């Protein structure tokens, strides 16, 4: 059994009202930690599809760009998830992506270090690898970084700057998740395997716009949560100033394999390859050897596609998930932010108007 880090009692989770945050908070609480949530609240109510298991002892509703030293009082560790969370969101307004994902992250880290926070666990991204040779598995330290989008660039720049800040008293570790899947109170259906299963479940159809050959690494939301917690619990010498790809053994799949897995859990669905995107240049395979060996006592993933797919189907059944839900803003982050802008709840700088 993995032991709790006794030097860490109170953990702040930024972005706790998002897809991963809604899973990691109850996981931490169940392990005996006191959790403080920090979130701007974009997805707080309308994107909540079922009740959260457990909530933080304290919830700060605030833009990460406005974090203050007072917010970090008595915090021992931070798991920093808050970000504009994918390439489409990043391209909505690249300058805001830099404000939130890069400048906001460095401001938070600098204040954390000043405040005596012991550990800073950063949710980075595999997008920084860019378009890669599909024959090579990309590793954390030696593979070329080729960030192509605003989102990927800000994640890579933030990693580089964060590592300059770490020392023996401010432990920084960066975790680069594969594309996440699995049930969550704030589930996203704008990411690949969730999208395929949700489409199969609500429409009976799985449409693949490529030829199915591109590679995509994927990881279950419960497992990725355990990886971030490893950044809090693993010994300093294993994680300080290190980056880790988060994934499972043999965790790279072609889009065709993902579609086949979705069809297995929704057996009456059909798969169609439209091919409009051809072979799709966005293809990459990632090595997970570093996290699976160095952190093997702290990160032990247990979810595969079949188990996670069945969990999704069970979740959709329990909440009476419909095609309207699937296609709505509830599960699509870009659509939701556009709706908030259109309804004048937030402005084009993504700040709350009231």
pLDDT at 298: 97
Output the six-digit token pair for 164. 């300059």
Structural domain includes residue 349:
no
Q: Is residue 42 one of the residues assigned to a domain?
A: yes
Question: From CA 41, how far away is CA 39, in angstroms rounded?
Answer: 5
Put residue 26 in one of left, alpha, beta given phi > 0 → left and psi -120 to 50 → alpha: alpha
Is residue 353 assigned to a domain?
no
Statement: residue 339 has pLDDT above 90: yes
How many CA atoms does the CB half-sphere of 354 hold within 13 Å?
4
pLDDT of residue 156: 96
What is the helix (H) or strand (E) element at residue 180, kind and residue range? strand 179-181
CATH number of the domain that residue 107 is part of: 3.40.50.720
Mean pLDDT of all residues belonging to the chain: 93
Q: What is the mean pLDDT of residues 319-323?
A: 97
The predicted structure's pLDDT at residue 3: 58
Q: Report the domain count for the chain.
A: 1
Q: Which residue range forms the structural domain that includes residue 285? A: 10-342
Radius of gyration of the chain (CA): 19
What does the pLDDT read at residue 278?
A: 53
pLDDT tens per residue across span 183-204:
999 999 999 999 999 999 999 9
pLDDT in tens, 211-228: 898 899 999 999 999 999
The answer as to whether 186 is a domain residue is yes
pLDDT tens profile 17-60: 999 999 999 999 999 999 999 999 999 999 999 998 899 999 99
pLDDT for 7 = 79
Report pLDDT for 53: 80
Token pair for 345:
């709840």
> Does the reported pTM lie above 0.75?
yes
User: Please, where are the H alpha helices in 249-352?
Assistant: 255-265, 289-294, 305-318, 323-327, 333-342
pLDDT tens track for 138-180: 999 999 888 888 899 999 999 999 999 999 999 999 999 999 9
In a domain, 347, yes or no: no
Asked whether 260 and 307 are in contact (CB, 8 A), the reply is no
Element (H, E) at 150: helix 150-165
Are 220 and 180 in contact by the 8 Å Cβ rule? The answer is: yes
How do 171-177 and 242-246 pair as beta strands? parallel
pLDDT at 87: 64
In a domain, 348, yes or no: no
Instruction: Tally the C-alpha atoms within 13 A of residue 99's C-alpha that lie toward its C-beta.
Output: 14
């Amino acid at each position: 059994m993995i032991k709790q880090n006794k030097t860490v009692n109170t953990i702040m989770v930024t972005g706790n009202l998002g897809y991963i945050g809604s899973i990691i908070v109850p996981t931490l609480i169940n392990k005996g930690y006191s959790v403080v949530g920090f979130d701007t609240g974009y997805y707080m109510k309308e994107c909540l599809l079922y009740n959260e298991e457990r909530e933080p002892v304290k919830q700060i509703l605030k833009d990460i760009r406005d974090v203050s030293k007072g917010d970090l009082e008595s915090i021992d560790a931070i798991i920093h998830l808050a970000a504009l969370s994918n390439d489409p969101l990043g391209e909505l307004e690249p300058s805001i992506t830099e404000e939130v994902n890069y400048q906001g992250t460095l401001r938070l880290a600098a204040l954390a270090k000043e405040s005596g926070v012991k550990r800073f666990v950063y949710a980075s991204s595999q997008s920084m690898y860019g378009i890669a040779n599909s024959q090579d598995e990309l590793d954390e330290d030696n593979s070329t970084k080729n960030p192509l989008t605003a989102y990927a660039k800000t994640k890579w720049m933030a990693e580089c700057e964060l590592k300059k800040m770490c020392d023996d008293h401010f432990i920084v570790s960066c975790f680069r998740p594969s594309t996440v899947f699995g049930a969550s109170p704030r589930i996203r259906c704008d990411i690949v395997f969730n999208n395929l299963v949700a489409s199969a479940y609500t429409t009976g159809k799985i449409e693949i716009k490529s030829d199915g050959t591109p590679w995509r690494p994927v990881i279950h939301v419960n497992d990725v949560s355990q990886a971030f917690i490893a950044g809090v619990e693993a010994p300093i010498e294993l994680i300080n100033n290190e980056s880790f790809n988060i994934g499972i053994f043999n965790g790279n799949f072609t889009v065709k394999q993902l579609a086949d897995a979705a069809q297995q859990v929704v057996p009456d669905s059909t798969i169609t390859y439209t091919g409009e995107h051809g072979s799709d240049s966005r293809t990459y395979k990632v090595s997970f050897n570093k996290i699976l060996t160095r952190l093997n006592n702290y990160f032990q993933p247990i979810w595969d596609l079949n188990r996670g797919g069945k969990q999704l189907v069970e979740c959709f059944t329990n909440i009476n998930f419909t095609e309207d839900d699937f296609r709505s803003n509830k599960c699509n982050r870009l659509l939701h932010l556009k709706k908030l802008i259109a309804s004048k709840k937030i402005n084009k700088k993504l700040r709350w108007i009231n």
